[in-house]
Structures are given as structure tokens and as C-alpha cells.
Structure 1
């Protein structure tokens, strides 16, 4: 009798064990190795298959850096028997047939080398490629992780098996974690384009406290351009970031990271560029850090609000006049408020980079719906349109709200109301242009506001400043159809833009 009970218990345990295995939560566990010298990153991925006969991965994204021949980056892909591998290079598909295997693992290498005899192409070879070279590794997860084709949303974990112990290390998900061998995890759906690794012997990481928010500044220490990057960014942490948090009355951030590293390239100077990650911004720098780079840093970090916490429509292309143009106006007035841009910088940006270029543009009047199709193929003309349209309209709107309220309210008040409305909506609800108009109706005539957006932002007709009144601190003169902004008398930007 006792023996039979033991048998029954064993059988139940085996059934329960098999059920647990079949029902286990999906996972993907990445283990990384790099010797600090070579251009090769070794990757081992252990994963669950949930009783499927095969698993299909897709590697890389040509839209992120233009890597069309993806198998120049991922190499030496292998699995262990009884599993079998099939590669579809044209579609970047990697299929693993499991053949009854109980443990599922795929290993491969990421090659970060580039041809030193071929001139570096900034947008493709440097700005978005994985940088893996002697003493330096920087890369976003899309450079080395596999995209799954099912809906499992697995728990994804990362840890380093081999790495130079004397190198500085930073990851953008848990930035306070300084030990690469410690595993960290997150769900797959949260990791798209947001994980950034930096490791090297020429890397410095400083932590700041900005109004209670931990901020991390990650830079190369020395570069070929003579930059002192940590020194360059001190004004941002002391002045700009506090200014923009005060502007939005918002410090609801777990942390923020600014990562700026000098490019590894074979040309004297190739400019700069970057991309956003969750709670952070990455800049790849191929020149001296100057006024333009200050603006880019300010603009991209400002997207934490307009562009991330709130946008109009389902996607950023729907109303870029708001997502890019209004964000640009918030950027420039916060650069003025924080004294990073002086009067001359502010007026030069408004006049030379916006009024002059926009009003002289031959396509300035095209309809908003025609921009997306040519945004990337003709960025110099079409791509910049929503930035300039939106900034100019935001400046105009700010002046009209100030005048209508006798200086009691500004565009900031309207945007804070819009931000508050966004927080009342569910995650899957969107802000609309109608929401923008409804909020603005508390400050200006609703019908006029709707007509302005339809006429100037959607249909594309430039604002005629000839007979438009501005606040007393500003004056505009029109020369050959181009508005030129100036400050009157002893007007002070710090008094105009204060919060």
C-alpha cells in the first residue's frame, strides 16, 4: 500500500513537472563576451520555445542605419544538435528547427569592424552601427539582439560573461549598476530600441541630481577633436535640465541619461547625430562640440515631453508641426532661460535658421500630408518643414496668448493644460488636434485657433507677419517677404521667458 502511494506521488510529480515545463514563462537570456581588444562581440542566447517545432528570429533593422547586408554584422551563427539552422539572408530570418531538443540555445558573433581604407559614411557606418574596437564598445540592443516573430513578450535578461574588468561600464536600463556580470531583466515589449551599452577604457560616467531625478552623463574622456565633453555638459545639468523640468512642473522620471561618445572614423570631421532611447539620448560626435551640438542636445532631451509623454495623433508623423516644431520652440526658450543661448544665439536661430530659411523655401506652402513621403528622401527641403512651421506658429501663438491675457498667461500655460489632459487619458487613448484646440480655447478664440491650424499647419500657408502685433519686447520687420525678429530697447530674454 505504501509503495503504491509513493508511485502515485511520483507520477503526479512527473505530470506536474511536465505541465510546469510546458507552461513556463517565455524567456530570452543573453550572455555577452568581449575581450576589449577585438571588433567581435560573442553572444549566447538561451531561450524557451513553448512546445513549438521551430523558432523564427529576425535580426537587425535596415531602417536603423541602413544596414542592408545584415550578415556582414552577424556571423558564425550556430546551434547544437539535434537542432538545425536555416538562414534566409534576403529577409534577415534565422530559423531554428528544434527536433525535440529540450534546451534551446543559439550562439553568434557581432562584427563591429569597418573598412579603414574606405571613407566613413556618417549616417550608415558610424552613427548607427555597433562600435566594437580596441578599448571601446557602444551599441544599442537592435545591433545584437534577435527579434522574435510571435506574441509571447518574453522576459529578456542580459549579463556579461567575459569583459575587461578595468573598463568603465554603463547600461541604460539600470544605470546605477556598475558590475557587468550582474544580470538585469525587462519584458521584450519594453526593450525595443531602448537598451544602450557603453564599455571602455576612455569612458567617464558622472551622476547628477537634477531636482531629485538621477541624471547620468556618459562621455569619452579624450577624443581627436579636443573636446572636454564632461565640461561641455555641466551647464546642461546645472541650468538647462532644471529649467525644462520647471517649465513642465514635472520630475516624474526614474532617471535620465545623456550619452555622448566620439566617433571612431577615418575622416577628419563627419558631423554628429544621434537617437533617443527610453529615459535618455545618445549622441555620436564626429566634430568639435559647438553651438549646433548644444542645440541638438537640448532639442532631443526636450522630447521627453513633446514627442514622448505627449504627441498629437497615433504617430509622430501625423502632426510633426507640433511634435518637432513646438518642441523646438520649447527648446530654444529654455536655452535662453538657462543662459546657454544668449540674445545673439537666440535671434540667430529664430532669424537665420527659421524665418529666413522657411520664407525663402520654394516648397514652404506644400500641404502637411505631402511631407511624410519625401521626409527622408528630401530631408533638406521636406524634412525640415514641420520643424520650422511649428516653431514659427508656436512663437506666434505665445505672443497672442500673452497679448490676449495682458501678460497673465503664455503658451506654457496652454501646454501645461494639454499635458494635464494627456495624463487623464488611458494609455491607448491619443491626444488629437481637437484636444489641442479645445485646450487653447481657454486662452484664444476657438474658431480662430482652428482656422489657424487648418490654414498654416495643415494647408501650409505661411503666417503673414506684416500686420501682426507682438508683445512690446519684440519687433518684426519684413524684408523681401522674410520676417526678421529683434528685441526692442532693453528687453531681456530672461524676463520674457521665465518660470
Structure 2
């Protein structure tokens, strides 16, 4: 059977004038059918480096993936004789060729190296099927290094889409193209942080204040219709742009593809240039509320993270991630997206509190949060700045309201940050944050900030709730699986005799035949089948225990205090 192969013919030329070179890279993209499996053939043409060696960028490690050079095969020169050498460590291909050439043509193919049904992990590698393709540009398009450098990271791109079937929908981070598109004044970071898709996608163009939001989706979904996600996306973008007083972006794309997962659900997304690419498990367990949260969190990063940048990335994750978390909940509740309101805010905020206060790293100082520790895989580290920052944002929002008699809120402070970022390229650092926040407060914020954000001491929730007149319960149920897995997760190495796990019948040494539970959720039963004395035993229980921890009450009084 013929399999679809996409051939990408890339033709490039450049012109320069003294000190201001103007580079244009042209792409011609067309499909090719052959009896082979999942390939992309790429032919690139450009003016090479005059010194006789041209470097083509293609990262071997990116976005949590490694060995990306494995997706490339058959690299060869077309127009000239020369030598091609791959360097995985540096993430490039070196081409030695005659000096002062006008044009150099290079051809290579890209293959889909993942096998079987599509999982969440596979989506960050090239996907090329008969029905569709889905690629991130950094593991697809090679870029000449000298063009990026000589153009001061500013070049133009044109793409001609040729010979695709009439019903083959094309879309990417820059446009919904038909036959031709131009991308002006782009950079390597912008161009290599993009998504390109084509095939049996459905494209929904959503108007938000005369700007186009393109929702690009494929697959037959079990738990929602396209119209549901269109409504969620429109409400999300409208609410966020209204809040930030920013309707300047005339095009934004959101792509969504289905993945396979037998039990439970998973979803994830990546914020890209002018776009957001997401995937989700297509089964009956998929949680639409979770997708509402995902869309709102990631799109919020257009401002907290993109416009308002961190000065020292991990050191300010409490802001870029924590404040994003807080405003994710606040904007959803305020705009009543998917009919979620203040009750949703209270429920999710209580979850944030439980996750922080039961975390094994709950009092880790902010100074210990580095790139290495954040990506170390140590339990609780990645969520720490999210939860700590969200609770700090809640405190500061209410503190500003109280100190200004309701005339100002955290909203005003964030808009202040945005103005400084746009006018002065100001980034978030701790001194600047405190100095700017103090303009809205009666007391210096520094001691509170140093104690709870820098040093990592837990917030006194009772004092905070009482100070701002919130009603709360003093106890709550917290997630507790009740036992520890063996190193290979095949059995129980230890168990708490006071836990629900022990009460349900689980014992130390039990060997698992089946495991099913939702991590950090007390709403779903944990279900196991264990082997004991050669017999299979089915055991289920709610993985929870009661702890002393203040939680906001979901009542009319607290909803009125939120003042959304």
C-alpha cells in the first residue's frame, strides 16, 4: 500500500547591502507518495558560508527528547561535491564545500522513529502518517548558522505549499496557508519554536475583537464536540486579553491531537510562537475541566513569561508559574468559563494548599531551586514554585485590596509589570518586585517575602484567612496512598498500619498484578489486584487521611470576599 511521504523542497537566497544584510529563505513544500514508511524528504537551497564550511543547526537534544539525529537519514549534497559530518553533541551538521559558492543544495530525509499507537511522549518527535503530519520546526527544518548570525537573528521566510490534496488542511504557528505564506522578520528562536501540521485537521477560525484564533483539531473525541472546545477557547482568550488590555495579536493558533491511553487521562501543551500545541488522551476518562485549566494556564504565559520575563528563570518561577496558576483560577472563575465560578476557584486553591503543605520539599529555600534541581525528578520539586507562588499571589491580592480600601488589587500590580516590561524591557527580579509592590501597600513587603518566598517558610494560613475575613475549616482530607512501593514498583515495601490502605487489606510484601490510582486525588478509589499465597485479591479504597490544615469554605461569604 502506498504511504504518504511529504517532500519539503527548501530554496533559499539572500541579498546583502553593506552593514544590513537582508536574508530570505524560501521553502517549497509538496507531498510525495512512495511504498515506504513515514518519511519526510527535505531539499534545501541557500547561499552557503563563503569560507567553505556551512553549519546547519539541528538539535539532537531538545524539549526533553534526545537522539533526535536518529530521525535524519540520507544527508547528501546535490549541487556540489563536499563532506558532511554530524555532531550530535553540538546539535549541528557541518558541510565542507568549495569557497564562495552562490548556491548550495542539501537533501535529507526525516523519518518518524516512534512506533505503535501515539502516546503523549511521542508527540514531541516527528509524526508523519498517511492521514496527517505533526512536527515542531526545531526537529524538522535545518537552518544555516551563518545566516542566523549575519542577519543578527532577523530574516524573512516564504513557504509555498504545492500539490497537496484539496481536502488536505494545512496550518502552522504563522498562518492557515493555502498555497503561499510569508513570515517576515523572524528569528531562529521564533522559527524553531513553531508547530507545522497538515492532513485531516478541522480548522475553526474564532473571532476575538477582530483578531483570529485558529483552533486546529483532528480525531473523533469521545467526551466533547469541537464546539465545546471552541467556546472554551474563545472565552479564555477574550477574558485574558481583556484583563491584560491587550488585543494586539492578530493571529494565534491552537492545535490539538489525540493520543492513546487505556486508563485514566493525560494532557499537556507547549506554548510556542503565536501558538499553543496540545495533545490529550482520547477516552472516556478525559477531564474537560482539566483542559479548561490547561488552556488558561498556558495561554496566560503570553504575558507572565513572554512579555513579563524572569531575570533568573528558576529563581522567579514562583512568579512566572505561581502567579500564572493564581490567575488561571481567577480568570476562569471571573469569566465563568465552562460555567466554572468561585466554587471552582475555592476547590482548586484548596488543592494547591494541600499539595504544598503535604509536599516532601515544602520548605525548600528558593535559592536551592536551580535548573538541575527543578529537572532532577525529585518528588515535589517541580510543583513547589507553582504552589508557593499561587498562595503568595492570593495573599498579596487580598493585602493590596485591604490596604487600598478596595481601590487597587494584584491586577494593577501585574499591569504595572507589563507596562515596565514593554517600555523599559524590565524583568522580574526580587528587588524590583518588592519595590513595585510596595507602591500598593502600607507596609514594606520585604520581610514577608524573604520569610515565605526566599527562605521557604510555610505561610500561616489561619492568620491570612482571618486577616482577610475568610471562613475556613481547620481539618481536611489529604492524599495518602498509605504504603511505599518497592524500588521496581512490583510490591509493597512498607505500609502505615493506620492508613486506609492497611484497613482495606493491603499488607507489606504484597505483589501487584494490577495497579490503578490517581496521584494526588482523594476523589477516586485506588484499585489493586495483589498476589498473596498464589491467590489474586482485589482491594480498593479512597487514598486519604485527615490532617490539620486550614481550607477555605465553599460558601456565599467567601465567594463575596473573593470580589471577582
Could you tell me the TM-score, scaled by structure 2's length? 0.75
Whether the 8 Å contact between 2:60 and 2:88 is mirrored in structure 1 is no
SS of alignment partner, residue 467 of structure 1: helix
Q: Which residue matches 1:255?
A: 251
Over 3 Å counting, the alpha-carbon distance change for 1:311 and 1:486 in structure 2 is farther
Superposed counterparts of 1:310-321, under 5 Å: 310-313=308-311, 315-321=312-318
| Structure (1 or 2) with the greater helix fraction | 1
Residue by residue, what CA displacement relative to the aligned partner does 1:147-167 show, whole Å, maximum 9, x if unpaired?
Answer: 443412344433334433321
Q: Which residue matches 1:166?
A: 167
Alpha-carbon separation, structure 1, partners of 2:463 and 2:557: 23
Superposed counterparts of 1:221-370, under 5 Å: 221-223=219-221, 225-237=222-234, 239-263=235-259, 265=260, 271-287=266-282, 288-313=286-311, 315-340=312-337, 341-352=340-351, 354-370=352-368
Whether the 8 Å contact between 2:191 and 2:273 is mirrored in structure 1 is no
Alpha-carbon separation, structure 1, partners of 2:327 and 2:177: 34
| Structure (1 or 2) with the greater strand fraction | 2
Structure 1 alignment gaps of length 5 or more = 1-17
Residue by residue, what CA displacement relative to the aligned partner does 1:66-85 show, whole Å, maximum 9, x if unpaired?
Answer: 132x2321112111253323
Q: Which residue matches 1:51?
A: 50
Alpha-carbon separation, structure 1, partners of 2:81 and 2:26: 18
Over 3 Å counting, the alpha-carbon distance change for 1:295 and 1:61 in structure 2 is farther
- Matched pairs, number: 464
Over 3 Å counting, the alpha-carbon distance change for 1:194 and 1:230 in structure 2 is farther
Does 1:109 find its partner at 2:106? Answer: no
Alpha-carbon separation, structure 1, partners of 2:205 and 2:30: 27
Shift, 1:252, TM fit: 2.3
Whether the 8 Å contact between 2:77 and 2:105 is mirrored in structure 1 is yes
Alpha-carbon separation, structure 1, partners of 2:468 and 2:65: 49
SS of alignment partner, residue 318 of structure 2: helix
Q: Which residue matches 2:72?
A: 74
Shift, 1:196, TM fit: 1.7
Residue by residue, what CA displacement relative to the aligned partner does 1:349-395 show, whole Å, maximum 9, x if unpaired?
Answer: 1112x111111112111111212222122264100000000000001
Over 3 Å counting, the alpha-carbon distance change for 1:127 and 1:268 in structure 2 is farther
Alpha-carbon separation, structure 2, partners of 1:289 and 1:274: 15
Residue by residue, what CA displacement relative to the aligned partner does 1:309-365 show, whole Å, maximum 9, x if unpaired?
Answer: 10331x43230000000011111000101213234432221112x111111112111
Q: Which residue matches 2:381?
A: 382
Residue by residue, what CA displacement relative to the aligned partner does 1:249-279 show, whole Å, maximum 9, x if unpaired?
Answer: 222223222221213x586666221211122
Over 3 Å counting, the alpha-carbon distance change for 1:183 and 1:444 in structure 2 is closer
Q: Which residue matches 1:14?
A: none
Alpha-carbon separation, structure 2, partners of 1:104 and 1:318: 45
SS of alignment partner, residue 237 of structure 2: helix
Does 1:211 find its partner at 2:217? Answer: no
Alpha-carbon separation, structure 1, partners of 2:132 and 2:179: 15
SS of alignment partner, residue 447 of structure 2: helix
Alpha-carbon separation, structure 1, partners of 2:178 and 2:379: 43
Whether the 8 Å contact between 1:65 and 1:129 is mirrored in structure 2 is no
Shift, 1:416, TM fit: 1.7
Does 1:483 find its partner at 2:550? Answer: yes
Over 3 Å counting, the alpha-carbon distance change for 1:86 and 1:409 in structure 2 is same
Structure 2 alignment gaps of length 5 or more = 1-14, 476-546
Does 1:134 find its partner at 2:130? Answer: yes
Alpha-carbon separation, structure 2, partners of 1:329 and 1:23: 45
Could you tell me the TM-score, scaled by structure 1's length? 0.84
Over 3 Å counting, the alpha-carbon distance change for 1:396 and 1:79 in structure 2 is same
Residue by residue, what CA displacement relative to the aligned partner does 1:432-489 show, whole Å, maximum 9, x if unpaired?
Answer: 3222222211221452x11122111111111112223557673234334422112444
Q: Which residue matches 1:87?
A: 85
Superposed counterparts of 1:388-467, under 5 Å: 388-425=387-424, 427=425, 429-447=426-444, 449-467=445-463
Higher relative contact order (CA 8 A, sep 6+): 1
Over 3 Å counting, the alpha-carbon distance change for 1:411 and 1:466 in structure 2 is same
Over 3 Å counting, the alpha-carbon distance change for 1:139 and 1:380 in structure 2 is farther
Over 3 Å counting, the alpha-carbon distance change for 1:20 and 1:342 in structure 2 is closer
SS of alignment partner, residue 382 of structure 1: coil
